Amino acid sequence: MGRDVFYITTPIYYPNADPHIGHGYTSVAADFIARYHRLRGEEVFHLTGTDEHGLKLQRAAEAAGMEPQQWVDEMEPRWREVWARLEIANDDYIRTTEPRHRHAVQRLLTAVHDNGRDDIYLGTYEGLYCVSCELYYTEDELVAGLCPIHERPVERVSQENYFFRLSAYADRLLEHYEREPSRVEPETRRNEVLSLIQGGLLDFSISRTNFDWGIPLPWDPKHVCYVWFDALTNYITAAGYGSDEERFAGVWPANVHMIAKDILRQHAIYWPAMLMAADIEPPDQVWAHGYLTVGGKKMSKTNLTAIHPFELIDHFGVDSYRYYFVREIQFGQDGNFSWESMVERHNADLANGLGNLASRILAMLGSSFDGLVPQASGQEEDLPAVIQEAVRRYDEHMSAVALTQALADVWEVVGRANRYLVEKAPWTLAKEPSRRDELAAILYASAETLRILAVLIRPIMPGAAQRLWEQLGIGAPLAGQWLPDAARWGGLQPGTKTSKGEALFPRLES
């Protein structure tokens, strides 16, 4: 088992589409998880990329009067730009038009084709095809005769192509999921997968001859590999399959494929079966979150509800953006985006919550101790226990991908610390010289709480964590802090020179 590395992926995105915040949702969630594992000192491999082949791409290129390669070369950097501004710290970026991917796909196809069980065979396909999904539908999957996702007409298509014998894998898939239920999360999605398998699996088509923008089948190059054998394989290409077997053994299987629920069937049924057919271990877990909706419908360009991430980042800042989506929408369920709720969250949790906490503590340190963290003589009882418990729950929730709860755990500390200040009222103590020891103990505990908060928020808000760290004036770099040690009480050195800088989060007008 590849257990040297915590390997997490996002879907690879269609480069010709316009990025919107629904896409960014998956990537921020995956990045939060990846950064959390790095914070625990684990080696992490976080992969994203672009899915660049297929009929839709070829048609888009033709419409633009370009060669497909030129077209994807032009489109793809827009996605990298989005990930860079969202501060997604992916370790690799894969494009399915790269030679390493062609090798891996051809190798996987060959392995399945030659596995001695006739798992790839030539047949005739007739079906109802949605060009936008690149999927065939059965009559009863259509809604009012239209594609259930795009609500557009489907085409009746008949052609000779190769099939993958998915139907032979139902028992193995069932056993795979029954033995280890956490392989599909959340539970609703697992049940969906199980009932799809129990309902009977149909072989699916893996090649096309009606277009050529794709990877040729090694044994019959008139055919190009069609969508899922090409796209899903990116996850093993980047892990070294077909190019670096030693690395592949260390990285694969992936710990988490983070996806949205529309591509669940392909990830939780097609993909493990394809791997089983090639004698490769399936991924540990497929985690399928819900949709970002607008007015109850999936946010999408087709629904005319797409919002580009930059529109929000420019207004709210990237930290607030990353925080909002994970905190506001119960991770796993569908959730509605609204500008108003984003302003509300920003002001309540960030500006008034964490931001205000930091500025009160740093201001008090400045006015009473020239900014120097005081020596605390007595042991403060309340906050260390609150933090210890919150950190325990945060770890538990992060390991279980309960991302929304993990943030709630951290904000529990923010709330308690703000209340602590109100109860202890250090500003009145500051006027009584005889109670200076008491004041020192309160401010030490408060500043120490800020230090631990900076460590805990780093995976979701790396920029804000760094700014807070700098205001605390701690000499050791934030990047060198690891869990669990960095969350242990007492790490802040007395004498550390703090400074009240600019507000961590400016308040926004509603």
Q: Which residue number, 42 or 262, has a Cβ lying nearer to ligand MSP?
A: 262
Q: Is 147 in the site for ligand MSP (CB under 6 A)?
A: no
301 assigned to active site? yes
Q: Contact, 42 vs 256, CB < 8 A?
A: no
DSSP H or E segment with residue 129: strand 120-130
Q: Identify which range of 227-235, 344-352, 416-424, 485-493 contacts ligand MSP by CB under 6 A.
A: 227-235
Burial class (CB in 10 A: 0-12, 13-18, 19+), 348: exposed
Q: Contact, 447 vs 488, CB < 8 A?
A: no
User: Residue from 74, 98, 212, 262 that binds ligand MSP (CB under 6 A)?
Assistant: 262
Q: Contact, 333 vs 303, CB < 8 A?
A: no
d(CA 241, CA 302): 36
d(CA 243, CA 355): 48
d(CA 196, CA 194): 5
Q: Is 26 in the site for ligand MSP (CB under 6 A)?
A: yes
Q: Which residue number, 54 or 355, has a Cβ lying nearer to ligand MSP?
A: 54
500 assigned to active site? no
**Catalytic pick from 150, 297, 315, 497?**
150
Walk across the sheet containing 292-294 and list its strands: 297-298, 292-294, 335-336
**Catalytic pick from 37, 147, 176, 397?**
147
- Closest of 385, 384, 405, 382 to residue 395, by C-alpha: 405
DSSP H or E segment with residue 249: helix 245-251
298 assigned to active site? yes
- Name the phi and psi angles at 165, rounded to 5: -80, 70
Q: Is 22 in the site for ligand MSP (CB under 6 A)?
A: yes
Q: Which residue number, 17 or 457, has a Cβ lying nearer to ligand MSP?
A: 17
User: Residue from 47, 238, 263, 453 that binds ligand MSP (CB under 6 A)?
Assistant: 263
130 assigned to active site? yes
**Catalytic pick from 46, 130, 257, 261?**
130
User: Residue from 106, 207, 285, 300 that binds ligand MSP (CB under 6 A)?
Assistant: 300
CB of 15 to ligand MSP, least distance (A): 9
Extended beta strands in 308-413, E state: 335-336
Q: Is 286 in the site for ligand MSP (CB under 6 A)?
A: no
257 assigned to active site? no
Q: Whose structure tokens read 């309160």?
A: 442
CB of 152 to ligand MSP, least distance (A): 15
Number of Cβ within a 10 Å radius of residue 367: 12
d(CA 20, CA 301): 8
Q: What number of chain residues touch ligand MSP (CB under 6 A)?
A: 22
23 assigned to active site? yes
- Closest of 33, 32, 120, 125 to residue 322, by C-alpha: 32
User: Residue from 2, 5, 16, 25 that binds ligand MSP (CB under 6 A)?
Assistant: 25
CB of 361 to ligand MSP, least distance (A): 38
User: Hey, what's the torsion of the CAs at 446, 447, 452, 457, to 10 degrees?
Assistant: 90
Q: Is 259 in the site for ligand MSP (CB under 6 A)?
A: yes
CB of 262 to ligand MSP, least distance (A): 4
User: Residue from 201, 238, 264, 292 that binds ligand MSP (CB under 6 A)?
Assistant: 292
Nearest residue to ligand MSP, scored by beta-carbon proximity: 22
In the complex, which residues of this chain contact ligand MSP (CB under 6 A)? 11-14, 17, 22-23, 25-26, 51, 231-232, 234, 259-260, 262-263, 291-292, 298-300
- Residues with active-site annotation: 20, 23, 130, 133, 147, 150, 298, 301
